[in-house]
Amino acid sequence: MTRILIATGNAHKTAEIRQILGPDFEVSDLSQYPGIPVPVETGETFLENATIKAVEVSVHFDGLVLSDDSGLEVDALGGAPGVRSARYAGEKASDGENRAKLLLELDRIEKNEGISRAARFHCVMVLARGGEKLASFDGCVEGTIIAECKGGGGFGYDPLFIPEGYGETFAELPGEIKNGLSHRARALEKARSFLRAR
């Protein structure tokens, strides 16, 4: 069994990664290692932030570290919220506050000029060990932003996002379906292939 530390304290993200990776991987996160400092995300891109997290955490952990930086990119907002997805409505914003700001911004534009609600979830993962980056992996899923939240599952922007080819939001779809087609699943599949080939 391969041991991997996920460079996050986000329990939702860890649970999703654990489910996608399956039983061949022993997955833990920073909540189990309170002595490891949480890196500050100062990058301008998902890759920069994922690299910062993986490399810095791997200095303090004897084993493989996998980081994930991901977010929602909305075409009508020039790719926002992007790397600021978790902090879109402010540094301490809740998921609900971030979703409310997103809808407000889209409504404001739509009233003036009419817009496409095309968007995508984008994920970049970085694998590191001993302070060195080993590889990076990315995944995207295209879809549409709807006008009001639907569904009680998932987290973040999931209740507003309908993936291409489906009629339900990520928050309405069963976990096994979402985890089979999500941006995180696509990046993780590449990471898993890389790890199995080592």
- Active site (catalytic) residues: 69
17: left (phi over 0), alpha (psi -120 to 50) or beta: alpha
Cα distances (Å, whole numbers) of residue 153 to 126, 128, 142, 170: 26, 31, 19, 7
Going 61 to 32 to 179 to 104, the CA torsion angle's sign is negative
Chain-centroid distance, C-alpha 116: 23
